[in-house]
Structure 1
Amino acid sequence: MVAAVRDRRPGDLDALAAALVEVHRVDGYPVEGVADPHAWLTPPGTLHAWVATVDGVVVGQALARTAQPEVAAVDAWVRQGGDIATTIVGARLFVAPAGRGHRLGTRLARTLTDWAVHHALDIVGDVMAKDTAAIALYERLGWHRLGTTMHDTGRGTQVPAYLYASREP
Structure 2
Amino acid sequence: MQIRPRTDDDAPALIAILTQVHERDGYPARPLNVRREWLWQDAFVGAWVAVDDGVVVGHVALADGFAGPGVPEGALGISRLFVAPRATGRGAGAALLDAARVGAGDRPLGLEVADWSAAARALYERLGWRQVGEGVAEWAGPDGRHPTLTYFVAP
TM-score by length of 1: 0.82
Question: For the residues of structure 2 that align with 1:91 and 1:59, how far apart are their CA atoms?
Answer: 16
Select 1:146's aligned residue among 120, 132, 136. Answer: 132
Select 2:121's aligned residue among 116, 120, 135. Answer: 135
Residue 75 (1) aligns with residue 68 (2): yes
Q: Is the 8 A contact 1:62 1:94 kept in 2?
A: yes
Question: For the residues of structure 2 that align with 1:77 and 1:66, how far apart are their CA atoms?
Answer: 17
Alignment of 1:1-169 (within 5 A): 3-67=1-65, 74-77=67-70, 82-84=72-74, 87-116=75-104, 119-151=105-137, 152-153=139-140, 156-167=144-155
Deviations 1:19-46 (CA, angstroms, capped at 9, x unpaired)? 0011000111111224551111112311
Mark the runs of 5 or more structure 1 residues left unpaired by the alignment: 69-73
Q: What amino acid sits opposite 1:129 in the alignment?
A: D
Q: Runs in 1 of length 4+ with deviation above 6 angstroms?
A: none
Mark the runs of 5 or more structure 2 residues left unpaired by the alignment: none
DSSP 3-state at the match of 1:83: coil
Distance 1:48 1:35, change over 3 A: closer
How many percent identity over aligned positions? 33
Question: For the residues of structure 2 that align with 1:35 and 1:142, how far apart are their CA atoms?
Answer: 29
Q: Is the 8 A contact 2:39 2:80 kept in 1?
A: yes
DSSP 3-state at the match of 1:162: strand
DSSP 3-state at the match of 2:90: coil
Q: What amino acid sits opposite 2:134 in the alignment?
A: T
Deviations 1:101-160 (CA, angstroms, capped at 9, x unpaired)? 3210111111111222xx211111111122112111111222111222222136543122
Root mean square deviation, CA, Å = 1.8
Q: What amino acid sits opposite 2:101 in the alignment?
A: T
TM-score by length of 2: 0.89
User: What number of residue pairs does the alignment pair up?
Assistant: 153
Q: Is the 8 A contact 2:65 2:76 kept in 1?
A: yes
Distance 1:33 1:160, change over 3 A: farther
Q: Is the 8 A contact 1:21 1:34 kept in 2?
A: no
